[in-house]
Amino acid sequence: MRVIALRFIFLSFLLFGVTANSEIRAQNDFKVTLLGTGTPILSIDRFGPSTLVEAGNQKFLFDAGRGATIRLHQLGIPIARLDRLFITHFHSDHVVGIPDLWLTGLLPAGGSRMKPFEVGGPTGAQALMSGLEQAYAADLKMRAAFVYPSRGLEVSVSEFTKDGVVYETDGVKVTAFEVDHGPQDKPAFGYRIDYGGRSVLISGDTRFNENLINHGQGVDLLLHEVAAARSELMNVSNVTAVLAVHTSAHDAGEVFRRTRPKLAAYTHLVLFGTAQIPVPSIDQLVAETRETYNGPLEVGEDLMTFEIGNMVTVRRFKP
């Protein structure tokens, strides 16, 4: 009897171990890391907008703000390991890191990319990358002379003009959808990523937008931009102009309430302040969000990771 009991315990342990390990693998199989949660304002704590999505064995970057390559290095991910960069729109804070991704990815320190640098984005992506090829023509000529992989020097661009699936490979589906970043700021898109029955939505830059709400229904993780300023700055013209093309915490809360994600999180925090008037605090952002939304909420930080399984697990970066 004792032998039977021991065997039962041993088998139970094995089965439990398999279940636990399977859950760990499931959690790690689909994850999102905020490489940059900031704005054009220079900050050592919040780099430029950029989000890493890892689904199965594929890795994607959504926007390439200032310092994206540094954040990838901190995570131990070679730049060349990225499968594709997706662009939401063409404001400089979202694309200024592209040359670094492209050219540093050629170097041994960047992983020695052996295939073309793949970029997806709305109309204008081809013109942007062609312009960068011209701007860095001397650099490319030098690297070709040093026998860098010729394929790694190339750029491959996929453009789109309207809502729809823009990538579908090995179980990963990426859908682009138009958002509203103001009448002067077109094109502007967000993205939804579906993998293994789970989903993530990245808002891009937008004000309150019904199209985003339609595409975000029931996602596991909804990453949304947010903008705020204290009342003392609401009569400053450049502040109000910027706030008019972004989403307030109150309105973002309404987006979260209507889409019902497992977890809502802020990224790209557009917070205004001066030497005399501080930027709104995180507590104030949360309080304003709570006027319209009482569900799970995180205020993103650089290198914060979300592991997406039966639940969304949040991990903060530990150097």
The answer, yes or no, to whether residue 182 has pLDDT greater than 60, is yes
Do the beta carbons of residue 314 and residue 206 sit within 8 Å? no
Instruction: Give the residue-averaged pLDDT of 103-126.
Output: 95
% of the chain beyond a pLDDT of 90: 84
Band (149; pLDDT cuts 50, 70, 90): confident
The answer, yes or no, to whether residue 296 has pLDDT greater than 80, is yes
d(C-alpha 81, C-alpha 101), whole Å:
11
The answer, yes or no, to whether residue 274 has pLDDT greater than 60, is yes
The answer, yes or no, to whether residue 257 has pLDDT greater than 80, is yes
pLDDT of residue 167: 98
d(C-alpha 87, C-alpha 74), whole Å:
22
User: Where do the domains of the chain lie, and which CATH numbers do they carry?
Assistant: 29-315 (3.60.15.10)
Band (299; pLDDT cuts 50, 70, 90): very high
Scored b (16 or more CB within 10 A) or e, 211-248 reads ebbebbeebbbbbbbbbbbbeebeeeeebeebbebbbb
Band (15; pLDDT cuts 50, 70, 90): very low
* Helical H segments across the chain, by residue range: 2-29, 68-75, 92-95, 98-104, 125-135, 137-145, 150-153, 210-215, 237-243, 249-259, 282-289
Specify the length of the chain in residues: 319
pLDDT, tens digit (0-9, with 9 covering 90-100), for 39-84: 999 999 999 999 999 999 999 999 999 999 999 999 999 999 999 9
For residue 25, give both structure tokens: 């693998």
Sign of CA dihedral 212, 217, 219, 225: positive
pLDDT of residue 28: 64
The answer, yes or no, to whether residue 277 has pLDDT greater than 80, is yes
Band (5; pLDDT cuts 50, 70, 90): very low
Residue predicted with more confidence, 146 or 282: 282
Main-chain dihedrals φ then ψ at residue 231, nearest 5 degrees: -55, -30
pLDDT of residue 194: 98
Choose the weakest-confidence range: 1-5, 33-37, 98-102, 191-195: 1-5
pLDDT of residue 144: 84
d(C-alpha 203, C-alpha 282), whole Å:
20
Of these ranges, 12-16, 102-106, 138-142, 188-192, the one predicted with the greatest mean pLDDT is: 188-192
d(C-alpha 252, C-alpha 247), whole Å:
6
% of the chain beyond a pLDDT of 70: 91
Band (147; pLDDT cuts 50, 70, 90): confident
The answer, yes or no, to whether residue 150 has pLDDT greater than 50, is yes
Main-chain dihedrals φ then ψ at residue 67, nearest 5 degrees: 85, 10
